[in-house]
C-alpha cells in the first residue's frame, strides 16, 4: 500500500540537488510504496533524475528557482515562503498535496514556515524539534527540544515530554517510554524552577503514557538508560552540538592514531571490524532526520551536510511518522491528560 506523497525540498542542504535526489532514490529503492513531490529547479531535478528512473516514475516535479539561504534570517525567509522551494514543500502539506515535507535547508526558516503554514496542534503551546541519538542500549534515545524554543516554562517541558513519548512509542515499541528531564544533577533539588515544576507535574499527572524517571545529566544521554530526554531548546542545542563534536573528536583521534606509524597501521587492520562498528555507530547520517513535533502535519529536517544515505534516512523518518499517524497519537495523549495538571508555574 502506498503512502501519501512526501514533498522533498530538492534545493536545500549543503550538498545540492543531486544529493537530495540520490537520497530520495535510495529511499524509494528500499520502499517501493514511497511517492514524491520534488520541489525545486525543474531542469536540475530532471538532470539528476536521469540516473534514477525508478524515482522519476514515482515523482512529480514542482518547479521553483528561489532558494532559502543557509544564513538567511527566518523573518526574511518567511516573507518569501510562497516563492521558495522550502516554502512550497511545506505548503504542499498544508494543501494536502503531500503528507510530509523533508528539507535540508535553514532550520530557523523551516520552523518559521512550518509554524505559519501548519499551525500548532490544539492544546499545545509550542512545537519542538526532536531527533534520535545513538546509545549503548538496545534503542536510540529521542531528545527534544533541540533549538526551536530558547526559553521554556514548565508547561512547555511537560508537553515536550508527552510528544517525545508518543514519538518514542513509534520508534522503540515501548508502551511506556522512560522519560527524563535534562538537568545539572539527578537530585530533586537540582535545576531551575521551571525544571523542578515540570518534574512535579509529570510525577503527579495521571493518564500519561510514559514512565517519568526524574532527571538525567548530559553525560548519561547516550548510555541507553532512558528513551526520551526533555529540555529547552537552548540547552538541547548545546548538548547536541557537544555530542556531535565528541563523536567527531573520537573518530578523528582514531584516524590520527592509526596512521601515526607502521605498527599503528597494522593494528588498524587487526582491529578494523571494531573500528568499522564504531564508525557506523557515530556516523550522523545513520540517525539523520529531526522532526518538528506538535504541528498539524509532518515536517522533517535533514542535516544540511547529510549525504544520500542521510537524506534517505530522513525520508524514511517522515514515512514512518505518516504510517504511524504521529499527529493523532500526540492529540490522543494530550486528551488523556487532565489539562489542569499541566499549568505553567
Per-position DSSP letters for 245-258, written without gaps between them: HHHHHHHHHHHHHH
Question: Fold match between 1-118 and 125-251+281-291+322-345?
Answer: yes
Pairing mode, strands 128-133 and 141-144: antiparallel
- Please state the domain extents for the chain: 1-118, 125-251+281-291+322-345
Q: What angle do CA 82, 86, 92 make, to 5 degrees?
A: 70
Q: How far apart are CA 239 and CA 182, in angstroms?
A: 10
The CATH number given to 1-118 is: 3.40.718.10
Q: Is 206 helix (H, G, I), strand (E, B) or coil?
A: coil
Walk along the chain (345 residues) and give the pLDDT tens digit of each residue: 567 899 999 998 777 899 999 999 999 998 888 899 999 999 999 999 999 999 999 999 999 989 998 888 989 999 999 999 999 999 999 999 999 999 998 989 999 999 999 999 998 899 999 999 888 888 889 999 998 888 999 999 999 999 999 999 988 888 899 999 999 999 988 999 999 999 999 998 877 889 999 999 999 998 999 999 999 999 999 998 888 888 778 777 777 766 766 766 655 555 555 555 555 555 667 778 899 999 999 999 998 888 999 999 999 999 999 999 999 889 888 877 654 455 444
Residue 18, burial from CB neighbour count under 10 angstroms (0-12, 13-18, 19+): middle
According to CATH, the topology of domain 125-251+281-291+322-345 is Isopropylmalate Dehydrogenase (3.40.718)
Total-model pTM: 0.86
Cα–Cα dist 24/15, whole Å: 14
Amino acid at each position: 500500500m502506498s503512502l501519501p506523497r512526501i514533498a522533498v525540498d530538492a534545493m536545500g542542504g549543503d550538498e545540492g540537488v543531486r544529493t537530495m535526489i540520490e537520497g530520495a532514490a535510495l529511499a524509494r529503492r528500499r520502499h517501493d510504496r514511497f511517492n514524491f513531490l520534488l520541489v525545486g529547479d525543474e531542469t536540475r531535478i530532471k538532470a539528476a533524475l536521469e540516473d534514477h528512473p525508478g524515482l522519476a516514475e514515482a515523482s512529480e516535479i514542482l518547479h521553483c528557482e528561489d532558494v532559502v539561504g543557509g544564513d538567511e534570517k527566518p523573518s526574511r525567509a518567511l516573507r518569501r515562503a510562497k516563492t521558495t522551494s522550502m516554502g512550497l514543500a511545506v505548503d504542499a502539506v498544508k494543501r494536502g498535496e503531500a503528507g510530509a515535507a523533508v528539507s535540508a535547508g535553514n532550520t530557523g526558516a523551516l520552523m518559521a514556515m512550518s509554524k505559519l503554514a501548519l499551525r500548532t496542534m490544539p492544546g499545545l503551546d509550542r512545537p519542538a524539534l526532536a531527533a534520535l541519538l545513538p546509545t549503548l542500549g538496545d534503542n536510540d534515545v529521542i531528545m527534544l527540544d533541540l533549538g526551536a524554543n530558547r526559553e521554556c516554562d514548565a508547561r512547555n517541558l511537560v508537553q515536550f515530554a508527552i510528544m517525545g513519548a508518543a514519538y518514542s512509542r513509534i520508534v522503540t515499541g515501548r508502551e511506556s517510554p522512560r522519560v527524563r528531564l535534562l538537568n545539572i544533577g539527578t537530585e530533586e533539588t537540582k535545576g531551575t524552577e521551571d525544571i523542578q515544576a515540570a518534574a512535579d507535574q509529570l510525577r503527579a499527572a495521571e493518564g500519561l503514557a510514559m514512565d517519568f524517571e526524574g532527571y538525567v545529566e548530559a553525560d548519561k544521554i547516550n548510555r541507553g538508560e532512558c528513551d526520551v530526554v526533555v529540555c529547552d531548546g537552548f540547552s538541547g542545542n548545546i548538548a547536541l552540538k557537544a555530542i556531535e563534536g565528541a563523536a567527531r573528536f573520537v573518530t578523528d583521534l582514531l584516524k590520527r592514531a592509526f596512521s601515526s606509524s607502521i605498527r599503528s597501521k597494522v593494528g588498524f587492520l587487526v582491529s578494523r571490524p571494531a573500528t568499522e562498528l564504531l564508525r557506523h555507530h557515530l556516523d550522523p547520517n545513520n540517525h539523520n532526520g529531526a522532526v518538528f513535533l506538535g504541528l498539524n502535519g509532518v515536517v522533517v529536517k535533514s542535516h544540511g551536510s547529510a549525504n544520500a544515505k542521510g537524506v534517505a534516512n530522513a525520508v524514511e523518518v517522515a514515512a514512518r511518522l505518516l504510517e504511524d499517524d504521529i499527529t493523532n497519537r500526540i492529540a490522543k495523549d494530550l486528551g488523556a491528560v487532565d489539562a489542569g495538571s499541566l499549568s505553567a508555574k
